[in-house]
Amino acid sequence: MKYKSSFYWFVGICVASFSFAAQAQNIDIKTGWQYREIKTEKWFPATVPGEIHTDLLRNKTIPDPFYRDNEKKLQWIDLKDWEYKTTFKLTDATLKKKNAELVFDGLDTYATVYLNNKQILKADNMFRQWRVEVKNLLKTGNNELVVVFKSAQNVVDSLAKKDLPFVIPDNPRLYARKAQYHFGWDWGPKFTTCGIWKTPRLEVYDTKTPEKPYVMDRKIELVQQPDSIGKSFYFKIDGKPVYMKGANYIPSDAFLSRMTKKEYEKVISTAKDANMNMLRIWGGGIYEDDYFYDLCDKNGIYVWQDFMFAGTMVPGDKAFFDNVKAEVQYQVKRLRHHKSIVLWCGNNEADEAFKNWGWQKAMKMSKQDSTRIWHDYVRLFQDSIPKWVKEVDNKRPYVSSSPLFGWGKKESLTQGDSHYWGIWWGLDDIEIANSKTGRFVSEYGMLAMPNYSSVEAFTLPEDRYLYSDILEAHLKAGKGFMKIDSYLSRYFIDSTKIKKMNVEDYTYLTQCLQYYSLKNIIGIQRSKAPYNMGTLVWQLNDCWPVASWSVTDYYNREPKAAWYAIKEAYRDDKTPEIDLTRPIDLKLEDPKITWKVSGNKIILKSSKAAKYVYVSIKGYTGKWSDNYIDLKAGEERTISFEGKLSKPQVKVFSLYDVLARY
pLDDT in tens, 183-212: 999 999 999 999 999 999 999 999 988 888
Q: What are phi and psi of 302, to 5 degrees?
A: -75, 150
Outline where 560-617 has alpha helix (H): 561-569
How many Cβ atoms sit within 10 Å of the Cβ of residue 570?
21
Q: Residue 302 pLDDT more than 80?
A: yes
How many whole angstroms separate alpha carbon 51 and alpha carbon 43? 15
Asked if 655 and 611 touch (Cβ cutoff 8 Å), the reply is yes
How many whole angstroms separate alpha carbon 400 and alpha carbon 338? 21
CA angle 285, 291, 295 (to 5 degrees): 100
DSSP β-ladder status, 417-419 and 440-443 = parallel
Q: What is the rounded average pLDDT of the residues 284-308? A: 98
Q: Which of 204, 195, 199, 153 is nearest to 176 (CA)?
A: 153
How many whole angstroms separate alpha carbon 309 and alpha carbon 125? 13
How many whole angstroms separate alpha carbon 362 and alpha carbon 358? 6
Q: Which helix (H) or strand (E) holds 425?
A: none
> Which amino acid is located at 113 in the chain?
V
pTM: 0.94
Q: What are phi and psi of 545, to 5 degrees?
A: -75, 120
23: pLDDT confidence band, cut at 50, 70 and 90? low
How many whole angstroms separate alpha carbon 182 and alpha carbon 110? 14
Which pLDDT value is given to residue 547?
98
**Domains with residue ranges and CATH for the chain:** 25-205 (2.60.120.260), 222-446+522-570 (3.20.20.80), 586-660 (2.60.40.10)
Q: Residue 15 pLDDT more than 50?
A: no
Q: Residue 144 pLDDT more than 50?
A: yes
130 Cβ contact list (under 8 Å, min separation 6): 103, 104, 107, 113, 121, 123
Outline where 36-143 has alpha helix (H): 52-58, 70-73, 92-95
Q: Which of 434, 428, 400, 430 is nearest to 416 (CA)?
A: 400
Q: What are phi and psi of 335, to 5 degrees?
A: -105, -15
Which pLDDT value is given to residue 503?
98
Task: Give the sheet arrangement for strand 25-28, strand by strand.
Answer: 25-28, 201-205, 99-104, 130-133
Q: Residue 17 pLDDT more than 70?
A: no
Q: Which of 568, 516, 523 is nearest to 274 (CA)?
A: 568
DSSP assigned state of 423: T
pLDDT in tens, 528-583: 999 999 999 999 999 999 999 999 999 999 999 999 999 999 999 999 999 999 99
10: pLDDT confidence band, cut at 50, 70 and 90? very low
| Average pLDDT taken over every residue of the chain | 94
Whole-angstrom Cα Rg for the chain = 27
pLDDT in tens, 219-253: 999 999 999 999 999 999 999 999 999 999 999 99
383 SS3 class: helix
CA angle 93, 96, 97 (to 5 degrees): 110
